[in-house]
Structure 1
């Protein structure tokens, strides 16, 4: 029986591409991140204590959706403990992702730049965009009778399989 599903959670996932996890080279060592981003890894970043979601909502509201650096800085100054809490949330997130490897990772003394580069790379591999988490559900919905889904053949960037991550020519360095 050939049934078509709108969402197929049994489709090929990142575990197929990275069955042993995502290898990351840092400080001469290899660290293995989970093949799929565990939902719990976002808990520290989205916690009520951190208040990042509230901050983003405030920035977007104050700028009618066209936020600039000024609005972000103003909102940050209203929360002087946020930078320290945010860094703690990032460390906690990496603790969740790395598990037993986290202590060895921290001993390598990652810089802010290391965290930014690593996070950017992982976002690309995981295919997660935090901005989409905060976007209103109405902003992408359409009640139009004339709209139709974009054909997968209309763009080369559309993955053929759920979880597909195209090769990145910029990251040709392999993990040893």
Structure 2
């Protein structure tokens, strides 16, 4: 008899049956909604809003270059490139074939960076808040660029110039 919990009723001790009915019962209040469900609904709403804004932004009638990009009357494209958080912003630049491209690079990161292209054109190593201008000349084919500081290219600090409409 000692191996059983005294709260259980048995044939030998029917009084425990009465105790079981007089104990206060636990009352559970149903929740309005599960917290994970609420955050999932919120995430879906945010994604839908971002998608709608992106879709409406893509319907613009006059295509303009991205912020920091200017095109001169002679067709020379000047692009501002910012080095920050182990990334180049923008990381992809699209140009028409035969476009003269000039990059104005600025290091906004706390560590030094540079920009090296596969055609041996490069900037010097730039300290924080330093700038350099890199004239790539006329671009007729895709170019890949990267930061030559050890480990930065592997960490994703790359820049691609894509020739479109070829």
Bin the TM-score by the shorter chain. under 0.3
Q: Which has the higher contact order (CA 8 A, sep 6+)?
A: 1
Higher normalized helix content (fraction of residues): 1
Tell me which structure has the larger Cα radius of gyration: 2
What is the TM-score normalised by the length of structure 2? 0.21
Higher normalized strand content (fraction of residues): 2
